[in-house]
Structure 1
């Protein structure tokens, strides 16, 4: 006969949602035993049905998150304004088989270094990421956007303010609709003559340099001179960056807003407008 389970264990098994922010808060500095709450997640056979867990607005150490890895049904995790960093995000990879919503907003110690861990979660089941107020920048956002596009995933991402500002400025950084004989593919750069390379650079420079001088656009000035090899490398670098920035742009505003040839054959479901007028900007 199986031993009778303690009443507390039976109770913990039935819990499906927990908000532990108040339990862990250090209001007045008097909650000296608050951190002991973390130990309950290591109890055997406890929280077997816990699906949603919140630590919003309370201090959390990166190492604390290791104690969550045994939760078999955790799908929603709120970690807004907890002070966690990149190490903590990597601990969360252990939850990727169940986690569908992850809110990391208002944690400035989460940086681009955490993107490999986030991408592993995206490849699994995560469908929502809250990244507003983190230090993830455009390099990290580009990596996530390329993965989401390549894997044809639908992931709702609330992006950081700095990335939103950069994306809004893309029309002032790149030539969005180059017409032949101008090229958009970086792979074609090596086939162009010196004159053709210069004409391509001049076309992009007309947009980027003008905006950079007049309104302080965030793109750098485009230099149009140099040897053929230098111009080829410069144009290739510009088009590679343009290509991935337009992936992010398309996930925010819809692919129809940019050069249609860049998005030919893409899933029509991904071509809808994704601007959220009532909250942080998102991409999918």
Structure 2
């Protein structure tokens, strides 16, 4: 849809070619969907890519706040032509074929961009997370990543920033990451109770017996196998690594389900669903044998 003071244009049939777009570039257009106009009909769209040139002309679309290229091919370098849009807040790039390079071009829009949909672009990977974090650190409050190749390491970096900056960002994550997060109650002991520890920095203060007791508690609660033996140094390193990973995974969980600050300044995932309640019950049961 094209919204402006002029009559609306029917774009469902892909009528927004370069001459028409050029006419409206200096008007007060606020929303523009170019997907149908740039999509390939039978693999051919003669002159369709010329539309991109309009964005590079002086005083083009000074009022444009929403722009969509969803479901049409977009080259990474095409996105450079959008950096002159002073009010662009919502950008749809779903199923366009853009990759990490294209995401880095979007850094130029970080001062205005609030919603970005990169769904169904498998070439967007963890390498794009530094660019996305710069946008999140500014104004971005929605990010669509379903169908991308962003994995848990990238989400951990993203979640740590969101937590540190106390931001509220709605992130739609890839299915594989969602499955991993939903399985967190089967990977870690969610709520270790004293004398068990939560903070990785405390590992070096524990005796060998205490280290083994902590590892055994996590091994009992987790569905994955955790080796509980070895030298004191080996157990210390193994427990530290486990707690570091647990800590940041709970931050990702919090990014998806919401945050609440727990005792000692540690953050834990909070979710009011039945699954979360069942996870709490499982953790309590795991502690009974330690008392």
**3-state SS of the aligned residue for 1:42?**
coil
C-alpha distance in 2, partners of 1:29/1:99?
A: 32
Task: Note if contact 2:72-2:95 (Cα within 8 Å) is conserved in structure 1.
Answer: yes
Give the equivalent residue in structure 2 for 1:109: 123
Structure 1 residues 1-284: aligned runs within 5 Å: 11-14=24-27, 15-208=29-222, 211-212=223-224, 221-255=225-259, 260-261=262-263, 273=272
Greater RCO (Cα-Cα under 8 Å, separation 6 or more): 1
Shift of 1:32: 2.4
Shift of 1:16: 1.3
Give TM-score, length-normalised by structure 2. Answer: 0.82
Alignment CA distance shift 1:106-1:188 (3 Å): same
Give TM-score, length-normalised by structure 1. Answer: 0.84
Structure 2, gaps ≥5 residues long: 1-19, 275-291
Alignment CA distance shift 1:129-1:274 (3 Å): farther
Figure out how many residues of one structure are paired with residues of the other and give that number: 254
Alignment CA distance shift 1:146-1:36 (3 Å): same
Task: Note if contact 1:89-1:117 (Cα within 8 Å) is conserved in structure 2.
Answer: yes
Alignment CA distance shift 1:97-1:235 (3 Å): same
Shift of 1:255: 4.6
Quick check: 11-20 or 166-175, which moved more? 11-20
Task: Note if contact 1:42-1:67 (Cα within 8 Å) is conserved in structure 2.
Answer: yes
Task: Note if contact 1:183-1:200 (Cα within 8 Å) is conserved in structure 2.
Answer: yes
Task: Note if contact 1:129-1:158 (Cα within 8 Å) is conserved in structure 2.
Answer: yes
Task: Note if contact 1:61-1:88 (Cα within 8 Å) is conserved in structure 2.
Answer: yes
Shift of 1:77: 0.3
